[in-house]
Amino acid sequence: MDSRTLPLTVAALYNAHACHPILVIGGGPSALTDLPQIPGWQSMVQISANGHAFKLPGAKPRYIFTKDNAECPPRPRKPNAEPFKLMEPQMRAFGVPIISLQYWADYRCAHWPFQGNSGQHALAVATLMGGAPVISVGIDCFMGQTYFHGDAANISKGKSRSYWQVRFRRYAERFRCAPRIRALSGPVAETFGRYDPAETFQGVFIPPVFSLYAKMPTQRVRVLRAFRDSGKATEIPAGAIVACSPTEATLWVNRGLAEPHA
């Protein structure tokens, strides 16, 4: 956690880095080939999709976005396989704030309007922050089948380019406008445009899909009995302190699931 009082909702990051470039780093091979083409990337605000950016020489991520509560296991899952590795302790080891849909996030994505993998979510968060531009590297969507750091084969084993083109078109439609996302290669560049260091952006622009977060205060609750958040598989355990919206806080307190927490 950082020096501010956490946890918070992602609303606390609304317009947090307005008109500054934000670099989102995934684990695909393009991270190694595209970064040298981005002047001054080392000094940009950086978001790591999961822990990938921390394995990249010169990278200094300020935030992590992680989608899942546990690592996705290899498919098919083998009998007597080791238990799933939880993401929170792995990401905490990097020592920067965690942005996630999960209850244990430092910045929790309450009422989040997007779906997708951690890289796609990180691009949306960078857009919420007011990044201009939001620059994507290493979000190759598994088509290379291995990560640039070579720790292991990507468990998704690769999907076709047409599959990701459709997924990214649907993802782009959620913005209801043209966000300031750019990339040098892959499905992100094909969907949102190629990064050009000479391109300029006028004024602050955050897509209307994020209007909820402009004035949404963070509330916190202490969970009294375990329950599953709507639409999520992860159970929130009793005793957890969760950042939430006023709507969520009212609902959970009225149902006897939680109590207000300072």
pLDDT tens digits for range 199-231: 999 999 999 999 999 999 999 999 999 999 876
Query: What is the C-alpha to C-alpha distance for residues 239 and 138, in angstroms, rounded to an integer?
Result: 37
The whole domain housing 226 covers 219-261
| Element (DSSP H or E) covering residue 220 | strand 219-223
Q: Do 242 and 176 sit in the same domain of this protein?
A: no
Looking at residue 146, its pLDDT comes to: 75
Q: Do 63 and 186 sit in the same domain of this protein?
A: yes
Q: Do 104 and 22 sit in the same domain of this protein?
A: yes
Reduced to 3 states, what is the DSSP secondary structure of residue 191? helix
**67: burial class by Cβ within 10 Å (0-12, 13-18, 19+)?**
buried
Q: How confident is the model at residue 151 (pLDDT cuts 50, 70, 90)?
A: low
Task: Name the more confident of 166 and 135.
Answer: 135
Asked which of 9-13, 125-129, 193-197, 227-231 is least confident by mean pLDDT, the reply is 227-231
Which pTM value belongs to this model?
0.90
Domain CATH for 145: 3.90.1480
Q: Do 231 and 161 sit in the same domain of this protein?
A: no
Q: Do 146 and 232 sit in the same domain of this protein?
A: no
List of E strands, 18-150: 22-25, 45-49, 63-65, 98-100, 107-108, 134-137
70 found inside a domain: yes
Q: Do 185 and 247 sit in the same domain of this protein?
A: no
Q: Do 94 and 224 sit in the same domain of this protein?
A: no
42 found inside a domain: yes
Q: Do 230 and 194 sit in the same domain of this protein?
A: no
2 found inside a domain: no
Q: Do 183 and 251 sit in the same domain of this protein?
A: no
Q: Do 134 and 20 sit in the same domain of this protein?
A: yes
Instruction: Read off the pLDDT of residues 45-87 as tens digits, 9 standing for 90 and up.
Output: 999 999 999 999 999 999 999 998 877 655 554 555 555 778 8
177 found inside a domain: yes
Do residues 25 and 61 touch, judged by C-beta distance below 8 A?
A: yes
Q: Do 236 and 148 sit in the same domain of this protein?
A: no
Q: Do 124 and 47 sit in the same domain of this protein?
A: yes
Domain count across the chain? 2
Looking at residue 143, its pLDDT comes to: 64
Tokens read off for 143: 């088509």
